[in-house]
A and B are shown apart, each in its own frame.
Chain A
Amino acid sequence: MTDTFYMTEALSICSDAAFEAHLGSLKDMPSWLLDIKREAWARYKALPEPRRKDEQWRFASTDGLSLDPYSYRVPSADPQECARPLLECGGCLDFADDAYIGGRPLYEEAAARGVIFLPLDRALREHPELVRRHLFERMPDLGSEKYQALHVAMFTTGVFLHVPRGVQVELPLAGLHEAVSEGASVFPHTLVVAEEGASVTMFDVFRSREAAARHFACAAADICALPGANIRYRMVQAWSRSSLAFHMNSASAERSSSVDAITINVGAAHVRSEQHGRIVGRGGNVQMHSLTLATGTQEVDQRTLQTHDAGDGHSNLLYKNVLLDKAHTIFSGLIRVAENAQRTDAYQTNRNLLLSPEAEADSLPGLEILANDVKCSHGASTGQLDKEQLYYMLARGLHRSTAQQLMVFGFFEEVLEKFGNEQLAQYVRDLLQESFNAHELLNNSPDAT
């Protein structure tokens, strides 16, 4: 068999043949990486399928997790048309079906100061030791261990961003991860490391190029702030509405550092979004914000953990979900404060807005506190739009659907404001609007009354 054969054949995603084809395409990779991959593939096959009975899968519909409809092709780096740049940024990496297809190089000023911003496969070749030090050191471990293993076994590339000590990267950097061919599976990996005192902003956009295509995404992002560093990470998940997606993210803050992560969910038929914020050094700070608009029969399954292993840390989580039609969201969050993590401040809030009697919002906000000198709280609320506010707008001649949309945008604005980048915020507002439009089309006459 020839390499060309591999490049054209679509293989069943869970087959040994797919994994062997994948390995075959990585001949120039360091052997330690191939060992990790082999071990991960064995683990993937050995681990059981998640069951609803498992505490970490409570309320989730695990029967939608079959990978049968998806196939694997060895990524080919055929030059493809790059998408129109989404944002003004200091550098952009564009991927199509897990192959780097171009983008915009890192701006000179940052490159001159030693910032590395490369497709992960190139970074593995050019800076193997640096990548090895951080790669897969911090997986979220929130129930998707089987899919983490699949991700490790099958990933090809993604974003590698390394900011050297003391360097402030002023312009935001971006990654655009697209799935293109019908039934494709992708395994994008983002690894951001800011060394001591460094600072950087990174945007990741995940989407299907064609809205009608169906994709499987098994993605991970690992954001690591070393002492005194500062990272802002924004992630937009906009896979096609028939796709299945896993996003397994970790944000880790060492001494006096901070990670500020925002997750936007508008796409996919079924998305499992895991986010593990870790305070590993004294005075670390992790912010985790999210907004989700779920329509149709979408299921958004969010699992979060805030781990405080060092004292004087601060973490704050705010997850806002809006549900229409027969959508289903699950928020399951836990704050865990270790015995020695005194003087911790940790907060967790989940707000669900139910705009349809057939939608379902599940909330599992948890606390495990082993230290006493802490300020911890969590709040969860589920309710409807304020009737008086709605009435006020209707009385002024607004259509019900317009009034409803305005109020939902108002509800989301609290998170959008935190972007610190108007262009990205507007991009998200447009996505939300598209989602609303799709919903209106589905419900032909939303304004019947």
Chain B
Amino acid sequence: MSSQTDDRSAQEKALAVERDVGNFSYETSYDFDAGKGLSERTIDYICDVKGEPDWMREFRKKALKVFNDKPMPSSWASPDLANIDFDRISYYMAKGRPSRSWDEVPDEVKKTFERLGVPEKERAFLAGVEAQFDSESSYSSMKEELAKQGVIFVSSSEGLMKHPEIFRQWFGKVIPIGDNKFSALNSAVFSGGSFIYIPKGVKLKQPLQAYFRINAEEMGQFERTLIIADEGAEMMYMEGCTAPQYETSALHSAVVELVALKGAKIQYVTVQNWSASVFNLVTKRGLALEDAEIRWIDCNIGSRLTMKYPAVVLRGERARGEVLSIALAHDGQHQDTGSKMIHAADNTSSNIVSKSISIGKGRATYRGMVQMPRHLKNCKNNTECDALLINTNSRTDTYPAIVVRGEGNSVQHEASVSKVSEEQIFYMQQRGIPEAEAMSLAVNGFVNDLVREFPMEYSVELRRLIDLEMEGSVG
């Protein structure tokens, strides 16, 4: 019994090491603060600070109305949503203006990102970085030769002000205001996030990265990202996120819109490691035109409750959509993730692979939607969801919805739930591998084929994270 308790505390210690990466905050004074609670005044404050045009102010106010009118999803969603107190959240807090050089970034903000290793990674392997601290982008930079090719990589506010012709054409088109309650909230108060345009035929060799940081207590972060890959362009975008652990909860509610024009390819990689006090309610959707490809590669390790179902609307013939998803749910966490594939043209194909691991009382949920309407021909979808349950009280759910009509369309869905087999562990122990290591190997084996899809830097980190999470959790 006591050895079990020891194991448990050893595990917690091991976990604490990694989870602590983001668990710190420097005393920060904010230049702008819209105060707590949400009203038209909050929106006016944001618009005034940002100096936004009137159409945006109207857009935001319309969204606020939709947000207020829409009920909270109740029949299917986690009841934990009811614990979000919208009146206690700060909707806009910003320090300084975004800068092009780390030297100009305010000290405490810079220290934060340095501690998280962002500048170092930028030098090492990134084509561009954007770093967001609470509501605003603090740093944004891109390699010069990309700018010469016409690549745009700026914060969403800058995109709106400096590139209105492209921005306005696509903004809010993939995810309309009223898509859901949280997309409406984001539309009302969004700030930060990236605006990216890759011109025709430009293929980025290195990824662009955004780093999102919630620093203040009871903060709401509402970044808005819009990526447009013009015909034949290719790009990869990576985002990471952390927040310190507070007693009170924070809210992160992003909207991400991707547009892949004819023949373009977009890969969007997320490693979500929010602290366990963050509600992470995100709407992500891509629009893929003829021969285009959109891949969402999504890893959810942190947060209290995540609800995120990256979607691809396959609008052009032969478009391809893919979602690869890893979720790790610990005690007190609910990872409610999944995917939507909306087939809207002939000969489109989509693939969903989701793997989840529930540890302790953690709960992992897969929720999916695959849709092929009447007039379509020869569309294909393949979905696989595998869940691994580590402890006796771990929980997993799978709720896919599949609608198929049309001619020559086919859908396959497979899901399985299992635990690490005792035989596997026994076999490895026989060969002198300690139990914890064996468990870790087995779990790594379970997610291995997906981890490989992440860029190298991330996959190494993921493996290490999984090793640590698994220590001492046998039984």
Q: Which residues of A contact B (CB under 8 A)?
A: 53-55, 58-59, 339, 342, 352, 354, 357-384
Contacts and interface: CB of A to CB of B under 8 A. Distances in A.
Interface stretch (B106-114, B211-219, B397-405, B444-452): B397-405
Given A55-B75, A358-B405, A370-B393, A381 B413 contact: yes
A354 B409 CA distance: 9
Query: Which residue of B390, B391, B408 has the most chain A CB atoms within 10 A of its CB atom?
Result: B408
Contacts of A339: 392-393
A378 B413 CA distance: 8
A59 to B, nearest CB: 7
B75 A379 contact: no
A368 B390 contact: no
B410 A381 contact: yes
Q: Which size bracket describes the interface of B in this complex?
A: 35 or more
Nearest to B387: A369
A382 B392 contact: no
Interface string B394-426: 111111111111111111111111110000000
30 contacts: A53-B75, A58-B401, A342-B392, A359-B405, A361-B402, A362-B404, A363-B413, A364-B402, A367-B417, A369-B396, A369-B417, A370-B395, A372-B393, A372-B394, A373-B392, A374-B389, A375-B418, A377-B414, A377-B417, A378-B413, A378-B415, A379-B414, A380-B413, A381-B412, A382-B404, A382-B410, A382-B411, A383-B409, A383-B410, A383-B411
B75 A54 contact: yes
Contact of B403 (A358, A362, A369, A375): A362
A379 B76 contact: no
B374 interface: yes
Interface string B209-231: 00000000000000000000000
Nearest to A328: B405
B143 to A, nearest CB: 46
A354 B407 CA distance: 8
B410 A380 contact: no
Main SS class of interface, A: strand
B389 A381 contact: no
A150 to B, nearest CB: 24
A367 B415 contact: yes
A374 B396 CA distance: 11
Given A365-B398, A365-B413, A384 B403 contact: no
A55 B412 CA distance: 23
A133 B228 CA distance: 67
A382 B402 contact: yes
B419 A55 contact: no
Contacts of B392: 339, 342, 371-373
A369 B407 CA distance: 35
Nearest to A53: B75
A411 to B, nearest CB: 15
A270 to B, nearest CB: 18
Contacts of A375: 417-418
Contacts of A381: 410-413
Given A360-B404, A381-B410, A366 B75 contact: no
Given A364-B402, A381-B411, A382-B409, 4 more contacts: A365-B415, A369-B417, A378-B413, A383-B411
Contacts of B419: 372-374
A360 B394 CA distance: 36
Given A370-B393, A372-B389, A357 B401 contact: no
Contacts of A368: 395-397
Interface string B254-297: 00000000000000000000000000000000000000000000
B411 A362 contact: no
A384 B396 CA distance: 32
A101 B75 CA distance: 46
B75 to A, nearest CB: 5
Contact of A357 (B396, B407, B416): B407
A449 B415 CA distance: 40
A360 B374 contact: yes
Query: Which residue of A352, A376, A384 has the most chain B CB atoms within 10 A of its CB atom?
Result: A376
Contact of A363 (B76, B400, B410, B417): B400
A362 B374 CA distance: 12
A407 to B, nearest CB: 16
B403 A367 contact: no
A339 B358 CA distance: 14
Contact of A361 (B391, B396, B404, B414): B404
Given A366-B400, A370-B393, A372-B394, A384 B408 contact: yes
A295 B234 CA distance: 47
Nearest to B374: A358
B400 A364 contact: yes
The 9 A-B residue pairs with the shortest CB-CB distance, nearest first, are A372-B389, A383-B410, A357-B407, A363-B402, A367-B398, A377-B416, A376-B417, A382-B404, A380-B413
A369 B400 contact: no
Contact of A374 (B390, B398, B404, B417): B417
Given A367-B417, A381-B410, A354 B399 contact: no
B395 A55 contact: no
A352 B404 contact: yes
B390 A372 contact: yes
B76 A55 contact: yes
Nearest to B392: A372
B73 to A, nearest CB: 11
A382 B400 CA distance: 14
B239 to A, nearest CB: 30
Interface string B75-116: 110000000000000000000000000000000000000000
B422 to A, nearest CB: 9
Contact of A360 (B387, B405, B414): B405
Contact of B402 (A54, A359, A374, A380): A380
A322 to B, nearest CB: 14
A379 to B, nearest CB: 5
A361 B371 CA distance: 11
Contacts of B415: 365, 367, 377-379
Interface in B330-376: 358, 374
Contacts of B397: 366-369
Interface string B437-469: 000000000000000000000000000000000
B75 A365 contact: no
A369 B398 CA distance: 9
Contacts of B408: 384
Nearest to A379: B414
Query: Which residue of B76, B389, B415, B419 has the most chain A CB atoms within 10 A of its CB atom?
Result: B415
Nearest to B370: A363
A383 B402 CA distance: 12
